[in-house]
Amino acid sequence: MTALGDQALPGVVPPAGNVRWVKVLDQDRCIGCHACTTACKSENEVPLGVTRTYVKSVDVGIFPQVRRAFQVTRCNQCADAPCVAACPTQAMFRRRDGIVDFDKQVCIGCKACMAACPYDAIFINPEDHSAEKCNMCAHRLDVGLEPACVTVCPTQAILVGDLNDPHSEVAQIVGRQPVQVRRPEKETRPGVFYKGAHQATLDPLAARRPDGGLFAWATQGAPDPQLVVSGHPDRPISSAAALLSYDIPHQAPWGWRVSLYAWTKSIAAGAFGVAALLAFLGCLGWGDSAMRWAAPVLALAFLAVTGALLIWDLKHPLRFYLIFTRHHWRSWLVRGSFIIGSYGAVAGAYFLAALAGSTLARQVLAGLGMPLALATAVYTAYLFAQATARDLWQSPLLAPHLAVQAVLAGAAAMLPLLSWLSPGTAVTADEATLAIAAGAHVLMVSGEITLPHVTAHAHLAAQDMTRGKFARFFWPGLALAAAAVAAPWIGVAAAPLALLGLLGHDHAYVQAGQSVPLA
């Protein structure tokens, strides 16, 4: 279907072949009319409340030497797209012509692509609940037409063309004129180039956030802790001041269910892992009820809760099976699902071996279960690392810290059961394990918040965790975990302290990591 005013691209013969479609956004020409936004909405039937593209504006300078700078914000069509790597079902995929496209029919709504995108360019369509973004109007390019935004731009500020064609206008601009890309340090090799853009529009932290969230056309408050408002919250007024005048807030992709999942998974991994460790060390008898029944049942119960939380958090929960039938192995969501499934199978087999009364089988299965418990605990570090935009989560110590958290949670969850079913040496050993794990956790958290962060994004996220809207979860959580160090002296009372403390930390850490604006 062709709209009035559509223009054919010269020399385009679909299919594209060796084409690399890119865009050049000439911000020297942009007048901030938002025609591209409305044309995109009309062409792609984008509902109200979300946008595939929008125009951000920043006021730069000091009165009376002030001007308004515009920047068109959209998907960057990366050559090494983090969203493609993170997508578990290949709903996000990169075409041979360089366009990063999406297939709504296989999207499960896990929001991994949103967490991975360094440009905050992906959203969940509120009508069909699938991930969506700019795909350069691929359906138009395929038939030789320009994207809708290019067609309607009154100043020809938006150009699209083949970067591999040296005669194309975009190739000549990119090759011969100074252009910029957003967030080059993420090494995504974007396919959207900015010409004449002010740095205050490209860097989401370069401009100051308006006092009280009062923007040019609307007020952007943040009553919802998941709402991420652009701009630097602490940028002082100076001779180089830049003030945001129009922008769009974004929702953090992962909410409280993911925070709770991190906690329940630690208990599931730690309960069986700690019990097996105590049994192999001779502190807990293989015939004791705690080792025969309590440990596997506790692990399976919390593993079931973990799986339920993950499915509940999907926008298309009935499509969860696609993780296993249409899996994309580069995604750590897929790898983690298979790890959790394997761990659950071993724990279930252990329970059946206990019913059959086979001690040898249980010992073999416990030996298999311990490394799987460790993998279950730490794979989330790799899942979070795929969220390349979230600098707080890029710590190389996150995996060992998650292992420590699993030991902490497992020892705490098992302590009441051991006190009831296997009093004596096992309780003493579990209390010591809990105290050591709690101390290690407190030390690692202390290092996280006291050592300087190498990026402004990580620093602001840590600040939001310790002094911002998530501090009310972080500090009580740290204090309760520190109190659990006294487990050998206070006994079973340390268990709820450790578990509640870990829950507070997990929620603060997961949410603060998503609190820094990206666009």
Which tens digit of pLDDT belongs to each residue from 428-479?
999 999 999 999 999 999 999 999 888 888 999 999 999 998 999 999 999 9
**Tell me, what's the pLDDT at 344?**
97
Mean pLDDT computed over 137-164: 94
**Tell me, what's the pLDDT at 247?**
77
Residue whose structure tokens are 């050993």? 429
Amino acid of residue 362 = R
Q: Which residues pair with 242 in a beta bridge?
A: 60
Categorize the per-residue pLDDT at 238 as very low, low, confident or very high, splitting at 50, 70 and 90: very low
Mean pLDDT computed over 95-108: 95
Report whether pLDDT(223) > 70: no
Q: Which letter does DSSP use for residue 22 in this model?
A: E
Query: Could you give the residue ranges of the DSSP H alpha helices within 313-397?
Result: 322-325, 332-356, 359-385
The whole model's pTM is what? 0.91
Alpha-carbon distance of 296 to 362, in angstroms, equals: 11
**Tell me, what's the pLDDT at 224?**
61
Q: How far apart are the first and last CA of the chain?
A: 32
Alpha-carbon distance of 223 to 233, in angstroms, equals: 15
The CATH classification of domain 21-251, taken from the options 3.40.1010.10, 3.30.470.20, 1.10.10.10, 3.30.70.20 = 3.30.70.20
**Tell me, what's the pLDDT at 246?**
76
- CA-closest candidate to residue 436, choices 277, 222, 263: 277
**Tell me, what's the pLDDT at 11?**
39
Alpha-carbon distance of 267 to 15, in angstroms, equals: 52
The CATH classification of domain 256-512, taken from the options 1.10.3720.10, 1.20.1250.10, 3.30.450.20, 1.20.1630.10 = 1.20.1630.10
For strands 21-26 and 54-62, give the pairing.
Answer: unpaired
Q: Where in the chain is the domain with CATH 1.20.1630.10?
A: 256-512
Cβ atoms 30, 55 nearer than 8 A: yes
Q: Where in the chain is the domain with CATH 3.30.70.20?
A: 21-251
Q: Any idea what the Cα angle at residue 135 is, between residues 21 and 28, rounded to 5°? A: 65
Amino acid of residue 39 = A
Alpha-carbon distance of 231 to 390, in angstroms, equals: 16
Which residue has better confidence, 343 or 71? 343
**Tell me, what's the pLDDT at 9?**
47
Residue whose structure tokens are 């998907």? 75
Alpha-carbon distance of 466 to 191, in angstroms, equals: 37
Cα-to-chain-centroid distance, residue 186? 15
Question: Each residue of 29-53: pLDDT tens digit?
Answer: 999 999 999 999 999 999 988 999 9
